[in-house]
């Protein structure tokens, strides 16, 4: 059974600092990997989807890398802003469904 782990569980940084969020998974036979953002009491917003054949994917200040062989992905958020405060979830597509990590809760201090 796929296990997805996100470290750290929580992170607090001053505004302007770059964020690095880590995700690891136990079974490297994944189809793809998706990063989400969740605000308190809300649903999930898709940030980036990395195909299994890709090494990274970028959208604005966000960059996600994928190393399938080692079972790792990293989400980088450049020049963090208070509006980036949220929980970030990593999920891997395997066996035609998503398996989620527990998330990293980020607080960006103004």
Partner 1 sequence: DVKVTQSSRYLVKRTGEKVFLECVQDMDHENMFWYRQDPGLGLRLIYFSYDVKMKEKGDIPEGYSVSREKKERFSLILESASTNQTSMYLCASSLSPTGGSNQPQHFGDGTRLSIL
**Site residues (CB under 8 A) for partner 1?**
31-34, 36, 41-46, 49, 51, 89, 91, 93, 96-98, 100-103
Instruction: Give CA torsion, residues 60, 25, 94, 97, to 10 deg.
Output: -70
Judge contact between 90 and 101, C-beta under 8 A.
Answer: yes
Closer to partner 1 at the Cβ: 45 or 107? 45
Closer to partner 1 at the Cβ: 80 or 94? 94
Shortest CB 32 distance to partner 1, Å: 4
Closer to partner 1 at the Cβ: 67 or 95? 95
Query: CA-CA distance, 24 to 15, in Å (whole number)?
Result: 26
Shortest CB 65 distance to partner 1, Å: 16
Shortest CB 77 distance to partner 1, Å: 18
Give the Å distances, CA to CA, from 91 to 6, 49, 56: 10, 10, 15
Shortest CB 66 distance to partner 1, Å: 12
What does the block give as tokens for 86? 């949220």
């Amino acid at each position: 059974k796929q296990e997805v782990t996100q470290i750290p569980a929580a992170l607090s940084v001053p505004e302007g600092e770059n964020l690095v969020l880590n995700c690891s998974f136990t079974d490297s036979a994944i189809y793809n990997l998706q990063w989400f953002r969740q605000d308190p009491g809300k649903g999930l917003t898709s940030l980036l989807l990395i195909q299994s054949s890709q090494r990274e994917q970028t959208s604005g200040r966000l960059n996600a890398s994928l190393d399938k062989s080692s079972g790792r992905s990293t989400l980088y958020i450049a020049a963090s802003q208070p509006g980036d405060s949220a929980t970030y979830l990593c999920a891997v597509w395997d066996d035609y469904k998503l398996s989620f990590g527990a998330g990293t809760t980020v607080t960006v201090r103004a």
